[in-house]
Amino acid sequence: MGGKSDYEHLAVTSELLTQLGVPHEVRVVSAHRTPDRMFEYATTAEGRGIEVIIAAAGGAAHLPGMVAAKTVLPVIGVPIPATALNGMDALLSIVQMPKGVPVATMAIGKPGAANAALFAAAILSGKHPELRERLAAFRSAQEAAVLRDAILV
Pick out the residues of the known binding site. 6, 33
Checking phi first, is residue 97 left (phi over 0); if not, alpha (psi -120 to 50) or beta?
A: beta
Nearest to 80 by CA among 14, 9, 16: 9
| DSSP state letter for 4 | G
DSSP helix/strand/coil, 102: coil
Helical packing angle, 109-125 and 7-19, nearest 10°? 30
Inter-residue contact 77 to 87 (CB < 8 Å): no
DSSP helix/strand/coil, 35: helix
Q: Which residues are annotated as a binding site for substrate?
A: 6, 33
